[in-house]
Structure 1
């Protein structure tokens, strides 16, 4: 069997070149554009000192292949680092909250013969605890039902613990039913009310009405 004679200088040269390639790839991984800029400057400088000719072309070809291999390996490694990450269970988007329209003036009478703001507030709190966004409509006469003429839209929103944009007091001389039904139909929402809306059956068509009662101080809703 023929003996393999390894030239120590040749072996050392291969090891040094291998380490240099690893170092170049590492530098590319950390400082990609800076590495390319320094490589371009080095090529420009060496081309003035060692012009390409028949004698130097093997070195230039070997250098070009080395840089190409380094860039290819770097590109593969970078794509693995920046590729799409697996979706974790905790990264699922939060679903949009459900919304429901409340016939506020009607609900205020659920717990007795007189209007009570606390009754409406208990229903609002019940819905909020279940991650349902209430949108409350009130007759302009609601403040008279409550015997508190100072109540404004802002006052109602503060009393109910809702943003003012979720509380609508209808204009005086109008019926809240029309606004409630039109808004619910436009937004495709359910309505919370014990009103049958019989005189507005054309508007109430295809709208789901959720009814409720107050039992032992707690709302019980049917159809939610």
Structure 2
């Protein structure tokens, strides 16, 4: 009767999966930090490999596996980037910000403080907060672009107009209310909210939050309770 052969794993057998895993994690990190450059490099490598390893039937399984790896890395990197964006930056110039330096702005409400919807009104409030050492995070209803009669405005456009980084702006999805996002973010991070909205229909969510109200006088914003 034959004895079952004992399977002996060499150090290489043990290290290979670990090295491949670390390489995949590094690949994801490249996508997170340099998405376009990594994608271009991947495409260039695929073109070089295809010269000697074409798309014949026998090779399709390998190309499929390679495509799956790239797709998995892109999806993982996208998820990580969105997570970082949702959390919002907490550091600048290598120094940790104090929680009290962060402030949430109900952008759609604020841009009406001087009467008609005007992005300059919101910009003036943002500038004043920044002059006081505050770091605003602006939430806007999806309808804000229509109030401003500029349907082409997106988060990048709002960021440029307000002098903020792209990750300091959130245009809420269509058919949703920015109030829900404002209160959730402010409560989770214990931040004050700049808005004249009383949040009457969300009183429970707003309970305990510091609300900073204001207006515009002589072309300059006035904030109460800052």
TM-score category (smaller protein): 0.5 to 0.7
Alignment of 1:14-163 (within 5 A): 96-97=97-98, 98-112=101-115, 114-163=116-165
**Does 2:178 align with 1:171?**
no
Q: Which runs of 4+ in 1 moved over 6 A?
A: none
Question: What secondary structure sits across from 2:135 in the alignment?
Answer: strand
CA-to-aligned-CA distance 1:88-133 (integer Å, 9 cap, x gap): xxxxx97725010000000000001x20000000000011111100
Alignment of 1:5-16 (within 5 A): none
What is the rounded CA distance, in whole Å, between the counterparts of 1:218 and 1:135 in structure 2?
A: 20
CA-to-aligned-CA distance 1:25-66 (integer Å, 9 cap, x gap): xxxxxxxxxxxxxxxxxxxxxxxxxxxxxxxxxxxxxxxxxx
What is the rounded CA distance, in whole Å, between the counterparts of 1:94 and 1:104 in structure 2?
A: 27
What is the rounded CA distance, in whole Å, between the counterparts of 1:94 and 1:154 in structure 2?
A: 25
Which stretches in structure 2 are left out of the alignment for 5+ residues?
A: 1-93
| Residues paired across the two proteins, number | 131
Question: What secondary structure sits across from 1:136 in the alignment?
Answer: strand
TM-aligned CA deviation for residue 164 of structure 1: 0.6
Question: What secondary structure sits across from 2:161 in the alignment?
Answer: helix
Q: Which residue of 1 aligns with 2:203?
A: 201
TM-aligned CA deviation for residue 151 of structure 1: 0.2
Bigger-Rg structure (1/2): 1
CA-to-aligned-CA distance 1:121-163 (integer Å, 9 cap, x gap): 0000011111100100000000000000010010000000000
TM-score by length of 1: 0.57
What is the rounded CA distance, in whole Å, between the counterparts of 1:164 and 1:205 in structure 2?
A: 29
Question: What secondary structure sits across from 2:103 in the alignment?
Answer: strand
Which stretches in structure 1 are left out of the alignment for 5+ residues?
A: 1-92
RMSD across aligned positions (CA):
1.4
Question: What secondary structure sits across from 2:142 in the alignment?
Answer: coil
CA-to-aligned-CA distance 1:144-193 (integer Å, 9 cap, x gap): 00000010010000000000110000000100000000000000000000
1:210 paired residue among 188, 209, 212: 212
TM-score by length of 2: 0.56
